[in-house]
Amino acid sequence: MSKIGLFYAPAKGSTEKIAKKIAEKIGNDKVDLILVEENTNIDVLKSYEKIIFGISTVGRENWDAEYKKIGWDFFLQKLDNADFSGKTIAIYGMGNHILYADYFVDAMGELGQKVLEKGGKLVGYVSAEGYEFNHSKALINDKFLGLPLDEDTQEELTEERLDKWLNSIKTELGF
């Protein structure tokens, strides 16, 4: 069995915390954790048929005056040259449904659309039922393009949502 590539950013926050939790639940020996950075090349995607992407809509740029672009800021643009044909991809997105109710997990939506445009098979859609927000680019036909998580205001729901989502993608990602 080939490993799952779990690409995530930013580091040192909820997105990384969930990436490590997913790897642990699937089995650390079955997952390669890859922090998406400025120098991450899209060629690394060629090594994986099964991929999980972890992305945050709002990050360090909101609280750190010294913020410089990192991770997905660079990698999303590089995906314009990606080919996801033959790849099965699941996405989880971090958001805050209270402070950013009008942009809830928007980055997950942008990434999901890019995966679909580039021929990827997107798995792990999640019903919007039980989520509170005003608008999200990640929502299509009352389903999110992946798993939305709110570690800021709904941390108590994360474990159950994560377990349910992992169970729903288990067969397609082969773990």
pLDDT average, residue stretch 60-78: 65
- Under 8 Å between Cβ of 111 and 82: no
Does the pLDDT value for residue 11 go beyond 90? no
Residues in the chain: 175
pLDDT average, residue stretch 141-159: 96
Check residue 64 and give its pLDDT: 45
pLDDT average, residue stretch 67-75: 71
User: Average pLDDT of the chain?
Assistant: 91
- Total-model pTM: 0.93
Check residue 65 and give its pLDDT: 47
Q: How confident is the model at residue 39 (pLDDT cuts 50, 70, 90)?
A: confident
Does the pLDDT value for residue 27 go beyond 80? yes
Phi, psi of 54 (to 5 degrees): -120, 125
Phi, psi of 13 (to 5 degrees): -145, -160
Does the pLDDT value for residue 62 go beyond 60? no
For the stretch 81-132, pLDDT in tens is 999 999 999 999 999 999 888 989 999 999 999 999 999 999 999 999 999 9
Check residue 63 and give its pLDDT: 41
Check residue 70 and give its pLDDT: 62
Q: Give the amino acid at 86.
A: G
End-to-end CA distance of the chain: 9
Does the pLDDT value for residue 60 go beyond 60? no
* Strand pairing class (139-140; 88-94): unpaired
Query: What distance in Å separates the CA atoms of residue 168 and residue 76, rounded to the nearest whole number?
Result: 26
Check residue 69 and give its pLDDT: 59
| Range from 36-40, 71-75, 91-95 carrying the lowest mean pLDDT | 71-75
